[in-house]
Structure 1
Amino acid sequence: MPRPARRRPGSPFYFRARVPADVQHLVGKSEVSFSLRTSDEAEAQKLHAQHLARHYAQWEALRNGPQPLTGKQVAGLCGEWYSGFVGDLSEEPGELSVWDAVREMLDRTRSDDRADLERHYGSIADDLLSRHGLAPDDYSRGRLLSGLRRTMEQAAETLSRRATGDYGPDTHAGSFPALQPPEIGLLGPKEPTKQGQERGGASLWDLFNGWEKEHRRNGKAERTITDFRGKVRKLVEFVEHDDAAALTAADIVRWKDHLLDTGIGARTVSDKYLVAVRGLFNHAKANAMGLADPTENVSVSYSAPQATRERGFTEAEAKTILAAARAEKGLTARHAEHTRRAIRWVPWICAFTGARVTEITQLRKGDVETVSGVPCIRITPDAGSVKTRRYRRVPLHPQLVREGFLEFVEGCSEGPLFRSPTVDAENVSKRVGAWVREVVGISDDRLQPNHGWRHRFKTLCRNHGVPGEWADHLQGHANTSAAAGYGEYTVPAMLREVKKLPDCQV
């Protein structure tokens, strides 16, 4: 357990703690160290424990990735700030004229624009979230920023009354719910035990770190790292050690059965959980680490799911979604600007390109270009994850041009079109999928709302005479034949095929 330390007798105590290996790349350093600003040992121990719990919570939040906050959590965070701000100033609130000026300023600068909210309340939000080890998704952060703006107005109102000598009941204070503290014990969250290291052998986290470096060096998807990390952490928690050499096939079988018993699908256990662990031991084998793979002879049997409807959107479903996107159905000023853009345009682009949704949500302004007089989008690994790891250009269908997509792009600033610097393409794609289900009402569980466009596009290509080779190239489906590696797919020729596809009569 880390303890407060001092550099020399009589000097202030310091907080120092090692950042767990699996989140060091997210934190940006391997150790956290700063002054506790006290030379009193008892006070230093108290402060050190508080900071340690806070950092454990932060690290666990980073492991879990962005998470939604409930309305009650948002209100609780606002209430915590309100209580501290008003409590600190109530004893001596100052002159009424000061708070009149503050209220006038708040009224003058009231805005629902996300950039304005970030500028005025972002640092307050960061402090509150850090204090509780929370890493909210972009929508939840937007809710918190809006809540803090209202809370600031309430605080100014209360302190205006205090400045006149009115110390009656605070009606605002009672409206905020209590915020539960993070569930972090004295030993911190469940972290790798490093038993393998203590015994002198490699730990699972050693294997993971080596695999991660190789994965990044090869330019592969970042989200796979996050996914594998979560799977490995679940294995370590289940077997209660991370000694790679001590992990047996029997352990893997028990873990497999446990996952199935908790309701995780057989295909997910096979293709996600076992693949993650197998990837670590494949890395160990490739680097002559002398470790046997405990997953080698373990498998999960499963049957292909029954197909009770087409996998792509029907024409009626496509029209409903595109009409709702054009009307920006369900969008309000509370939604972040990039979210509004994504919901307006991503379904339309997917409908006429058949691209993967994340390939579109990661588009940048510079990826919309004109080649040989033809407007195109460029899907490239430079912008983010591309499954085939190869760039391709896709001409814009004439209906997409008529819809005004090029004018929209022209009015955007340089950089990403549909995401912010703090929100990745995967997160935005999930938001679009949730909008299709929850707002548009395409709620059929047999349909994947973000993948339905790819299936529909392939169907349209078959129905309207686009050869399979061209359809595969437009959609970015890998073609492993030797012949496919020769020659180029020129933009004018691709436009010829794209024009075969009909308009969607929205």
Structure 2
Amino acid sequence: MSLATYITKRNGSARYYLRVTIPSDLIEVYGKREIWKSLRTASPTEAKAQAPAILAELQDEFSARRRGREILADDIGAIAWERYSRLVAKDERLRDRELTENELDQLWNLIIKEVGEEDHEAWRIYQHIRDEPERYRKTRAALHAALTSGDANKVHQAVSKSVERELAARYAKVEAGSSIHRKVANAVARADVEFLKRATERDGMDWGGVPTDPMLKREQKPKHAVAGSRIMDLYGQFERNKGATKKADTNDQNKKIVQLFAEFVGETFPVSELSRRHITEFRDQLIIFPKMARQVAEFRGMKFKEIIAKNREIGRKTLDERTVNKYLSAVNPFLRWLSSNGYISAPILTDDLYNAIDTEARKYKVFTSDQLKTLFASPLFRGCQSADEIHKPGNVEVRDWRYWLPLVALFSGARLGEIAQLLVDDVRQIDGIWCAYVTDQGDDEKSIKTKNARRVIPIHPELVKLGLLKMREAQRKAGHKRMFPEIKVDARGHWGVPSKELNKYIDRIGLKEKKLVIHSFRHLFADRLRLAGHLDRDFGFILGHGDKKAGITGHYGSLPQGTAKRRLKLIQTVKFEELDLKQLYLDA
């Protein structure tokens, strides 16, 4: 696959990176010639898909830095305080990492046990860790000597790079030698001097020191922004500038989450004063924010902090870390827009602020052979008491979506929502082979999870024997547009009802087990393909994973992964020999 020259790999890394040359007029601002951004994938197609958006963000950043931001007199104290705070915090982190002689011995023993005593790289790593405190002390000593030398040239040389970094972080364009530039340099030097005092005090185990320089006082910042420049005011401008890039429901949900963030920091809080601290604290508060809060009567009319306080009384379940990350992701595009347009000095929501998620722990369980037998020998498939009591044995045959969706999921690996939204016209022939088209076309209520989800899935022969095509023809003759007209989207336009109802059915017939849900069919389908001898890269496109899972892309209509006949051959290798479904067959 041909990749753009700016998509590359670093030596020793399997992942792709975006490598961008900094424009010549901004090299001095950045202090380097290139920017490397990890694309977090080893797949060339996934890297190719992700790179344009990240490149666009960098171009926005370059534009913002060229526009520059004026440094006001009020900013000088903030620069000094923020720099001092960062240096003191870094000092604390470095001290936490300092190892005793015994701990260093234990570290070396672990290293040689892992890689061997003769490994040069291991020794280099050990030396780097061992000598870090001494290097830190020497750096401090050199800085102290320069700043207290009384020599203006030495002071300037000691802080010049730091001054440029502080200005660059704020996208500020300040002419060297100007009055403002000198004031920023003075602020940086004074912050560094106060930091060195704290570091020296800490060397003597005095951790109570506070700044005595009058410039370094936590500023009493204004609490209110004028109308038109508040968070939600600017969010409206963001929506108009960026346009509706997602489904209307997604845009609406994102706006509600940004509203929660505004309520947290204060709806009249000045946007220019937003910082990483606000994001960190918002993230930590979301962990104790109740699920579905807007739908709970007890929280009606309440703001973010009031909801949290009320929930301490009623004890509803709160957001998990994965959902918190989704909330942060909803806020992030707006925050990037604020940064690119100069409303805040630098990006404040970076990757390190997201919760670390154990992806292995999230995996769904797969149905065992015995569980499959139990499910497909249950009343829904063999005769139930009534259409309302499908979990109880009887002689009533139910052949609506509740019967068909598990069977189609079992033999297609499709997502439940993809099956639920199928139109009658989505099931049609290609070169004489019946296939299901998974698309977001043909109906306003249809949607797909990702662009790779748009695909063509041949109908498994077992589904033909079970009568799926006859059911399709019956729906067509009845004038129905959908394969399963009984299923309706929920209030948010999602196809979540089938999943909820079928998961409840699984529980009622005795298969209740954590992480065993109707979506487990999708994972089971992948396992059966592997059992048939296929590698993940050979079938990812059938599941709609694209290169992230398969190294191949499946697109609606073009069949880049082979003809319908070849796809059918792949599908036919999925077998469930432990199941006896012959009693459910209809004449083909």
TM (normalized to structure 2)?
0.45
Offset from partner CA, 1:320-364 (integer Å, 9 cap, x none): 3344443475863699xxx97331211111111111111111111
Matching of residue 238 in structure 1 with residue 261 in structure 2:
no
Q: 1:141-180 counterparts in 2 under 5 A? A: none
Q: 1:30-179 counterparts in 2 under 5 A? A: none
Matching of residue 317 in structure 1 with residue 371 in structure 2:
yes
What is the aligned partner in structure 2 of residue 105 from structure 1? none
- Kindly indicate whether the alpha-carbon contact (under 8 Å) linking 1:202 and 1:245 is maintained by their aligned counterparts in 2: no
Write the letter of the residue equivalent to 2:263: E
Q: Measured at CA, do residues 288 and 351 of structure 1 come closer, stay the same or move farther in structure 2, by a change above 3 Å?
A: farther
Q: 1:314 and 1:207 mapped to 2: Cα distance?
A: 49
What is the aligned partner in structure 1 of residue 87 from structure 2? none
Matching of residue 405 in structure 1 with residue 468 in structure 2:
yes
Q: Measured at CA, do residues 291 and 380 of structure 1 come closer, stay the same or move farther in structure 2, by a change above 3 Å?
A: farther
Matching of residue 415 in structure 1 with residue 415 in structure 2:
no
Q: 1:293-442 counterparts in 2 under 5 A? A: 293-296=347-350, 299-302=353-356, 304=358, 307=361, 311-324=365-378, 325-327=380-382, 332=387, 341-382=400-441, 384-390=446-452, 391-412=454-475, 413-418=479-484, 419-420=487-488, 424-442=493-511
State, as a whole percentage, how many aligned pairs show the same letter.
Answer: 23
- Kindly indicate whether the alpha-carbon contact (under 8 Å) linking 1:341 and 1:417 is maintained by their aligned counterparts in 2: no
- Kindly indicate whether the alpha-carbon contact (under 8 Å) linking 1:376 and 1:393 is maintained by their aligned counterparts in 2: yes
Give aligned pairs, total.
305
Q: 2:236 and 2:350 mapped to 1: Cα distance?
A: 18
Q: 1:209 and 1:404 mapped to 2: Cα distance?
A: 53
What is the aligned partner in structure 2 of residue 203 from structure 1? 231
- Kindly indicate whether the alpha-carbon contact (under 8 Å) linking 1:312 and 1:451 is maintained by their aligned counterparts in 2: no
Q: How big is the shift at 1:411?
A: 1.6
Matching of residue 491 in structure 1 with residue 564 in structure 2:
yes
Q: 1:505 and 1:473 mapped to 2: Cα distance?
A: 29
Matched position secondary structure for 1:376: strand
Matched position secondary structure for 2:259: helix
What is the aligned partner in structure 2 of residue 265 from structure 1? 320
Q: How big is the shift at 1:400?
A: 0.9
Query: Higher mean Cα deviation, 257-266 or 201-210?
Result: 201-210
Matching of residue 476 in structure 1 with residue 504 in structure 2:
no
What is the aligned partner in structure 2 of residue 152 from structure 1? none
Provide structure 1 residue ranges, at least 5 long, that are not aligned to the other structure.
1-194
What is the aligned partner in structure 1 of residue 527 from structure 2? 459
What is the aligned partner in structure 1 of residue 152 from structure 2? none
Q: 2:363 and 2:420 mapped to 1: Cα distance?
A: 27
Provide structure 2 residue ranges, at least 5 long, that are not aligned to the other structure.
1-222, 290-317, 391-397, 582-588
Q: Measured at CA, do residues 342 and 496 of structure 1 come closer, stay the same or move farther in structure 2, by a change above 3 Å?
A: same
Write the letter of the residue equivalent to 1:479: D
Larger Rg: 2
Q: Measured at CA, do residues 209 and 475 of structure 1 come closer, stay the same or move farther in structure 2, by a change above 3 Å?
A: farther
What is the root-mean-square deviation in Å for CA atoms of aligned residues? 3.7
Write the letter of the residue equivalent to 2:287: L
Matching of residue 247 in structure 1 with residue 270 in structure 2:
no
Matched position secondary structure for 1:426: coil
What is the aligned partner in structure 2 of residue 225 from structure 1? 251
Matched position secondary structure for 2:539: helix
Q: Measured at CA, do residues 309 and 249 of structure 1 come closer, stay the same or move farther in structure 2, by a change above 3 Å?
A: closer
Q: 2:362 and 2:421 mapped to 1: Cα distance?
A: 33
Q: How big is the shift at 1:394?
A: 0.5
Q: How big is the shift at 1:430?
A: 3.4
